[in-house]
Amino acid sequence: MMMAERQIKILNMIQEDGSVQVEELAKELDVSPMTIRRDLEKLQKEGLIERCHGGAVSKTEVAYADKSVKNHGEKERIAEKSVEFIREGTTVYLDAGTTTYEIAKRIMDMENMTVITNDLEIALLMKNSKAELILCGGYVQKSTGSTLGYYTTQMIADFRFDTGFFGAAAISGEFHVLTPTMDKAFLKRQLVKQCRQSFLTVDDSKFNRQGMNRINCLADYTGIITDHEFKEPEKAVLRKQGVRIISVNQEISRD
C-alpha cells in the first residue's frame, strides 16, 4: 500500500470512529507501529488530526447521517432501557445524538411531558408528539444538526430538569467522557449539573477511545446505560468510584 493511500485510510478510520490507536492501525494496515507514528505526525502537521497518547483523534465531529446508521441495533436497545427511567409529567432533557433520537421516538405518546433539546432532528420529531417542546437556540453545527455555543448556554442557564440523557464521542480507558469540541464539552458539563438525575447513553464503540476535550467522568452521572461489557477489574474500580452501570441486559448497582 502506498503511503498516500495508507494515510487516506487512516483518516477514514479516524473519521468513522473518532479516534484510533497506533497498535490497531499497525495491525489493520500490516505495517510497523513506527510507520504509523510517522503517518500520524504528518497528518497532524497538515492539521487533519490531533495526536493523543497512543494514537490520534479526529478534529471534527462525525456527521449525523454517518452516526445514525452505525450500531443502530445497540442504540435501540439502550433507548429501550433508558425509557424505563422516564415518567409522565416530568421535564426531560435530550442531548444531541442518534441514541437520544431513539429515546425521543419512544416517548412521543407520553402525557404532560416537557422535552428540551439542542438537537434539530429530535425537535422535528417531537413537533408531532404530545409533549411540550423547547428547542435551545444558538449556533447551529450543521454536520451534527445541533445547537451550541454562547447563546445556547445562556438560554438554558436557569433551566432545571427532572431527567437528562447525554451522549459522548468517546470514553477513555480512565473513564473520562470526551468530545471533539470545546463548546460541546462545556455545554454538556453544565447541563449534567442541572439535572436531578442524569444518564450517559453510550454504545460499546465509544469505549477505550480518545477525544480532544474532557466533559466529565462516569461518576458525574446518575447512571451509565450501555451495552459495553466491563471486565471484572474495571467493575471493581467503578464501584469504588460510585459509578452505576445499567446494562441493557442486567444492572450492576452501586455498593
The pLDDT tens digits for 85-113 are 999 999 999 999 999 999 999 999 999 99
Q: Assign a CATH topology to domain 64-252.
A: Rossmann fold (3.40.50)
CA angle 13, 97, 105 (to 5 degrees): 130
- With H, G, I as helix, E, B as strand and everything else as coil, classify residue 114: strand
In which element (H, E) is residue 16 found?
helix 3-17
Question: Does residue 248 contact residue 76 with C-beta atoms inside 8 Å?
Answer: no
Percent of residues, the chain, with pLDDT higher than 70: 91
Query: Where do the structural domains in the chain lie, given as residue ranges?
Result: 3-58, 64-252
In which element (H, E) is residue 103 found?
helix 98-105
Question: Does residue 199 contact residue 163 with C-beta atoms inside 8 Å?
Answer: yes
H-helix segments, 127-228: 150-156, 182-193
Residue 225 pLDDT > 90, yes or no? yes
What is d(CA 202, CA 128) in angstroms, rounded to the nearest whole number?
26
Entry pTM: 0.76
Q: Assign a CATH topology to domain 3-58.
A: Arc Repressor Mutant, subunit A (1.10.10)
